[in-house]
Amino acid sequence: MILVAGSANLDFVVRAHHIPSPGETVLGRDFKTYPGGKGANQAVASARAGAAPTHMLLGLGDDAFAVPLEASLHGAYVQLHTIRTPDHPTGTAFICVSDDAENAITVAPGANAQLRPEHLPSLKGFTHLLLQLETPMETVVAYAKAARAQGVAVVLNAAPAQHLPAELLAHTDVLVVNEGELATVAGHNGSIAECLSRIDVPTVVVTLGHHGCCARQHGAFILQGAFPIKPVDTTGAGDTFCGCLVAAMSRGLGLQEALQFASAAGAIACTRLGAQSSIPEAAEVSAFIAQHPKTSAEADQTLRAFCGLPSL
């Protein structure tokens, strides 16, 4: 069983030609709300991957914004452990998605900031705990410590980027970051491979957008090339990757296969609008992998070079 402890936000999304620069106003186009939040997105991804029952610990306000979030999580069969905070609104995120599929996100944490160490449910029966950084750091550290003490594997998606206390890294089994988050955690100097090697966590995975992803497990590097897609909205793609990675690991897949499954799911999510609305089911991911031949030797060498690894 997998427990995701983290945020749920209602995403207010406007599409525009480009993301405004500081001080700039951009006239956007259509506006829509979508269920989001890094924690909830990852819980939905894990549940749709279908490997193990997924539970989520989350904070919600006593308001109308909570309703679509609960509906989306229930619809994905995520078992909820809800901390209701009448004095704090449900989390919201304000997202601009550009025509080249990039986004800029501002989160108002609301109830997410009220998750406390004492809210962690019993971990009996759970194999994996998946955490992100949209809830208070003190809470994240306490949950990681409790999980480690009970033999539950701790997977941390260090997003949004923040400096990580040594105590948190010491209780993390798998760390997942993007390129910017890797620089925040490991420092801005050196190649991707060197940055991965500097982090004292058994397994570290960095997602690299259209380049693919790279993992360091103990002393070995494992790479997965990106799948060819035309992205329309990358919101939630990293969350899809994290939820599916944990689901694949809980199924007992090796890291190479788990990276392939997570990358394929993340790629599919980029081809659709919204966060949870874009996350595929396991069967679709498997069919997508079957349809897409292995990445070329040339692409593999390019990815190795991008990471600062010698060519094979």
Give me the active site residues, please: 239
Which positions ≥6 away from 53 have C-beta within 8 Å? Answer: 1, 2, 47, 77, 79
Binding-site ranges for ligand RIB (CB under 6 A): 7, 9, 11, 36-38, 41, 93, 105, 107, 134, 235-236, 238-239, 275
User: Measured from the CB of residue 111, what is the shortest distance to ligand RIB in angstroms?
Assistant: 13
Q: Which is nearer to ligand RIB, 185 or 275 (CB)?
A: 275
Q: Which is nearer to ligand RIB, 190 or 209 (CB)?
A: 209
Beta-ladder partners of 176: 157, 205
Q: Torsions phi, psi of 128, nearest 5?
A: -135, 140
In this structure, what DSSP letter does residue 164 have? Answer: P
- For residue 118, the tally of other CB atoms under 10 A from its CB is 8
> What distance in Å separates the CA atoms of residue 44 and residue 70, rounded to the nearest whole number?
11
Residue nearest ligand RIB, CB atom distance: 36
> What distance in Å separates the CA atoms of residue 292 and residue 257, rounded to the nearest whole number?
14
Q: Which is nearer to ligand RIB, 39 or 212 (CB)?
A: 39
Q: Write out the two tokens for 29.
A: 């186009």
Q: Which is nearer to ligand RIB, 203 or 276 (CB)?
A: 276
Q: Which is nearer to ligand RIB, 173 or 239 (CB)?
A: 239
User: Measured from the CB of residue 243, what is the shortest distance to ligand RIB in angstroms?
Assistant: 11
Residue carrying the six token digits 């309703």 = 67
> What distance in Å separates the CA atoms of residue 1 and residue 52, rounded to the nearest whole number?
5
User: Measured from the CB of residue 159, what is the shortest distance to ligand RIB in angstroms?
Assistant: 7
User: Measured from the CB of residue 93, what is the shortest distance to ligand RIB in angstroms?
Assistant: 3
User: Measured from the CB of residue 36, what is the shortest distance to ligand RIB in angstroms?
Assistant: 2
- Kind and range of the H or E run holding 217: strand 212-217
